[in-house]
Amino acid sequence: MDEDFLLSTEAARTLYHEVAERLPIIDYHCHISPEEIARDRIFENITQICTAAHADAYKTFILTACAKHYVQHNWVMQIHFGCLRDNNRECTDGE
């Protein structure tokens, strides 16, 4: 890999080397609550950081990735929020 790895166009190389290369990396993607950040909470392990927000963010990521793939292939996606598995059992258990 060289210094232009993933910079496939002249515009990309110019923007990166003349502007972005000197800037700090700032990650605004954070699921830790502002209160925990403000009090500088120290977590004992990585699992303490994982919250319901992580699960929701992961589900959103997966659905978005699938949707992009479906659009590329002109497929249809059916999403059934809150659906029950085997919800026909009530109709067939009495027989």
d(CA 12, CA 17): 8
Taking a C-beta distance cutoff of 8 angstroms, is the pair 13, 4 a contact?
Answer: yes
Task: Give me the pLDDT at residue 79, please.
Answer: 72
Q: Show the CA angle centred on residue 47, arms to residues 38 and 43, nearest 5°.
A: 35
d(CA 37, CA 71): 39
The pLDDT tens digits of the residues spanning 37-53 come to: 888 888 887 777 776 56
Nearest in space to 54 (alpha carbons), one of 73, 32, 36, 70: 32
The pLDDT tens digits of the residues spanning 12-26 come to: 999 999 999 998 777
Task: Give me the pLDDT at residue 15, please.
Answer: 93
Task: Give me the pLDDT at residue 16, please.
Answer: 92
The pLDDT tens digits of the residues spanning 52-94 come to: 567 777 888 888 888 888 888 888 877 776 666 665 666 665 5
Tokens found for residue 12: 């990309």
